[in-house]
A and B are shown apart, each in its own frame.
Chain A
Amino acid sequence: MSTGTGRLSVPALPERWRTLLLLLPVLLLDIGAFLVPMGYLLRLSVTARTSQGAFVEGSWSIDGYRYVASSDLVHQIFAFTVSFGVGVTLLAVAIGVVYAYAAWQAGRAGRIALLSVAVLSLFTTLVIKLFAVVLVFAPQGVLNDLLTGVGLLSEPVLLVDNLVGAVLGQLYIVTPYAILAVYAVLSTLDRHQVEAARDLGAGRWDAFREVILPHIRPGIAVATVVSFTWSIGAYAAPLLLGSGSEQTTGILISELLLTQFDWPAAAALAVITVTLVFSILMVILWRFDESGGILNA
């Protein structure tokens, strides 16, 4: 062997192939984790239904889509799911912005306390999180006891087993992400900019609108995307904390799968939901990109 370079010399690959080679692991992950299951779901949605089992293997039918298109119940549930997602997203982002701003304005100790509270709730699993909501908001829960105890309420208000409960539960799941997404961007703001605005005659609200809000727009976009995708797929919170009439597509799909064994319809509903979420996200990202926002920030 020659005593030249110690390294094995790899035959030079053309630039394009090298890029592809480096991307390969990511591509494989993408294909394995997203494209194959999605393709399977898509295929499933156009199979025929059977009373013998879940679906007829190898068959072709658009009955699943027909069911989704014709059922009034599905329409109602779909409409509820979208408005539930939008409502929770608006609330979560609003709370996220206010909370992150408070943490940013607070002193060192206050900031650490506020942020650790937000992070801490991420440590618990979904079910524990939702039972915590029950403990706090139930008629005999902490909040009602407190309010009736100090005499603000004469009798407990019903905050769980209804729409309020479903929304509170879902907020409890997504708000920490909204807070952290906004705070991450806000923490990069040069405080001198706020001071400069105040110095030039801006009150606190003016400074917030003119300086802070434009700065945290990418954070708001991320918070919106996370909250919305998560809330439109809401399942556990409306199921455990709703009254039963807060049905989301998630709950409906599981019902179709598990109790009615109508897999093609479940798959069709899933495909439609995913398509809708995906297109809304594309619009949001595209809008923010156009105004010099999230993608090139």
Chain B
Amino acid sequence: MLEVEGVTTRYGELTAVDDVSLTVADGELFCLLGPSGCGKSTVLRTIAGFEEPASGDISIRGTDITGRPPHQRDCSIVFQDWALFPHKTALENVAFGLKMQGVDAAERRERAQEALDLVEVGSQAEAAPDELSGGQRQRVALARSLTVDPDLLLLDEPLSNLDRRLRESMQIELKDIQRRLETTMVYVTHDQNEAFTLADRLGVMNDGELVQVGDPGTVYDDPKSRFVEAFLGSTNFVPCRVVAVEEQPILAAPFGVRFQAPIDAGSLAQDDTIVVSLRPERLDLNPAAEVAARAVEDGGVATDEVSVPCAVVETIRRGSSVRIRLSAEETDLFVEVPVEEGIDMTAGDTVALQWATDDAVYFAETGERCR
């Protein structure tokens, strides 16, 4: 449906988008996720035709549209600030695209009203944009883009100006509208939760480059780089030293534990640094006494499961879960456990932190994933 091939977009000297290629299937909701300034909005603006790519091609349904002006592309964009026309009513805003197509006045009123009804602001048809709430404006902007019946709908952080609760309900609604109308969407956001809620597939961008593309679960579980791992959720990064290179390297953590990492030792040398990512939800907490006995059995190098004695520094209740900050010698770590598990812990307690070596993710110093 949408094919972006090797697109590079520059603003003067600055390369905002660097050789990005992606394809979006018919009826798919594709999220472009990345921190602000990573070039994700520029990708969208290039697809819409507001920026001219320095190189690369864009095609929709097999037709090359790279050189076409915005009004001759079968796609429509919803802006972050919605960009409603302030001198027109909600209905006139929504009817604008039809007016430009030369649809007669009676029919465009009717179709615009239908679109407003679809997004549940039908009763506000005669209101001016500045009389509407943020949520209503967002809906009008969506309706305005939907009335031109675009092959491709581009959304540039359309919900980021709304408060959290409204944003979450709009996400569900948007997904619902997308399924009903089977519109192909490219959705730009910096909010990983939003991307996970909405996306059929997502692409993570950093520094103008598309780092990883895949379905949300895969990208989360199997990140290609340290950047992706860090961006998709909070985690503990623990720098470890390679102490022995066998088929699988032995790593020494700064808190005195040695363990065998289930990765290919390949190009590793002694004293290299490997950064281990320990996702808080993949860590277990156990009473310290049980663990001490096991560590002795392992004879100093853990193989499948690693245990670390830690002191509880602080417990922070975060709604339905508790975040527990721990200290293992000089290293700060944190875990997140359900309230019922974490409620008894208090600062100063000694606990054993455990994880399976398979559940940790390993990165070279360059940020690349070690497998």
Whether both chains belong to one complex is answered with yes
Binding site for B on A (CB under 8 A): 190, 192-193, 195-203, 206, 210-211, 214-215
Question: Contact: B100 with A196, CB < 8 Å?
Answer: no
Q: Could you show 6 A-B contacts with beta carbons less than 8 Å apart?
A: A190-B83, A195-B83, A196-B79, A199-B70, A200-B71, A201-B100
Question: Contact: A197 with B87, CB < 8 Å?
Answer: no
Closest 3 CB pairs of A and B: A201-B100, A192-B83, A200-B97
Which single member of A193, A202, A206, A215 contacts B83 (CB below 8 Å)?
A193
- Give the interface size class of chain B: 20 to 34
Which residues on A sit within 8 Å (CB–CB) of B48? 195, 199
What 0/1 readout, one digit per residue, does chain B (73-106) give for beta carbons within 8 Å of chain A? Answer: 0011101010111110000000011011100000
Q: In the docked arrangement, what's the CA distance between A170 and B247, Å? A: 89
Question: Contact: A203 with B77, CB < 8 Å?
Answer: no
Q: In the docked arrangement, what's the CA distance between A39 and B133, Å? A: 52
Which single member of A193, A198, A203 contacts B85 (CB below 8 Å)?
A193
Residue of A nearest to B154 (CB): A199
Given A192-B79, A195-B50, A196-B77, A201 and B85 contact (CB-CB distance below 8 Å) = no
Chain B min CB distance to A292 (Å): 9
B190 at interface (Cβ–Cβ under 8 A)? no
Q: Which has the most chain A C-beta neighbours within 10 Å: B49, B69, B85?
A: B85
Q: In the docked arrangement, what's the CA distance between A128 and B49, Å? A: 48
Chain B min CB distance to A150 (Å): 34
Chain A min CB distance to B125 (Å): 18
Which single member of B76, B81, B84, B85 contacts A199 (CB below 8 Å)?
B76
Question: Contact: A199 with B96, CB < 8 Å?
Answer: no
Q: Which has the most chain A C-beta neighbours within 10 Å: B69, B83, B84?
A: B83
Binding site for A on B (CB under 8 A): 48-50, 69-71, 75-77, 79, 81, 83-87, 96-97, 99-101, 144-145, 148
Q: Which has the most chain B C-beta neighbours within 10 Å: A197, A199, A203, A210?
A: A199
Which residues on A sit within 8 Å (CB–CB) of B83? 190, 192-193, 195-196
Q: Which has the most chain B C-beta neighbours within 10 Å: A197, A201, A202?
A: A201
Given A192-B81, A195-B70, A206-B100, A200 and B87 contact (CB-CB distance below 8 Å) = no
Question: Contact: A200 with B76, CB < 8 Å?
Answer: yes
Which residues on B sit within 8 Å (CB–CB) of A196? 77, 79, 83-85, 144
Chain A min CB distance to B89 (Å): 13
Given A190-B81, A190-B83, A192-B79, A197 and B69 contact (CB-CB distance below 8 Å) = no
Which residues on B sit within 8 Å (CB–CB) of A210? 85, 96, 99
Which residues on B sit within 8 Å (CB–CB) of A195? 48, 50, 70, 77, 79, 83
Which residues on B sit within 8 Å (CB–CB) of A203? 71
Question: Contact: B71 with A199, CB < 8 Å?
Answer: yes
Given A195-B70, A195-B83, A214-B87, A201 and B50 contact (CB-CB distance below 8 Å) = no
Which residues on A sit within 8 Å (CB–CB) of B99? 210
Question: Contact: A198 with B71, CB < 8 Å?
Answer: yes
Question: Contact: A200 with B69, CB < 8 Å?
Answer: no
Chain B min CB distance to A201 (Å): 4
Which residues on B sit within 8 Å (CB–CB) of A214? 85, 87
Question: Contact: A199 with B77, CB < 8 Å?
Answer: yes
Chain A min CB distance to B79 (Å): 5
Which residues on A sit within 8 Å (CB–CB) of B144? 196, 200
Q: In the docked arrangement, what's the CA distance between A197 and B69, Å? A: 12
Q: In the docked arrangement, what's the CA distance between A202 and B97, Å? A: 8
Which residues on B sit within 8 Å (CB–CB) of A200? 71, 76, 96-97, 100, 144-145, 148
